[in-house]
Each structure stands twice: as structure tokens, then as C-alpha cells.
Structure 1
């Protein structure tokens, strides 16, 4: 679901992903699931993380169909 939101441009490049707690609540998954999803999206180049600040949408997301 998060990948689709990114690719469709619902979360713009260089904007932060919603907080983990919000994603857990909205999608009914565990915090571990959210962390794993962010790791996978990071590996795909769709998000990047800044230590102590969180995860952000990569500009590469535009190339995959977003925007």
C-alpha cells in the first residue's frame, strides 16, 4: 500500500513518510511490518532514511510513474 501511495505521487519526493505509529494504525499492521516495508522500499530506491529524522520519498519515485 505504501509503495502504491509513493508511485502514484500521493507522497511527493523529498517529503517524509507518515510516522510509523500512523502507518500501523491506518494499515492495521505491526511496527515491525512497517519497518520491513520501509527497508524494502529503501532497497528499491523509492525511499531514503535520515538517521534521527525518518524516511523520505526519493526523487526516483517520480521515474517509476509518480507525479
Structure 2
């Protein structure tokens, strides 16, 4: 089969009659979890941050200004 040739898992599913849908999801989730667990943490001491820079908004007039 093609999946075997390229080295990826394959599971036949059917959303119409719910065949192997949950099993496929659980298998994919387990594979992702295992792959993530085998990779070293990039910098677990400090969580990633996002710097946001912008200009303050000056609201003048309108029904909601005081």
C-alpha cells in the first residue's frame, strides 16, 4: 500500500457509519504525544512570549466618550 511505501500509518475510517473514527483520532493523538515527548524542551525555564507594540488609540467625541 502507498502508506507503507512512504512509512506512514494508515487506518480505514468512515464518518458515515462511525467506523474507526475514534480509534484513528486516538492513534494520531498518541503518536503526536510520543513525538513531542521524545523531543527536548526548547527552553522550559521560560515560556515563549510575544511582544506587541502599537500606538495608543485617542478617542474623541462619539456617544461613549466622557
TM-score (norm: length of structure 2): 0.30
TM-score (norm: length of structure 1): 0.29
Report the structure, 1 or 2, having the larger strand content.
1
Larger Rg: 2
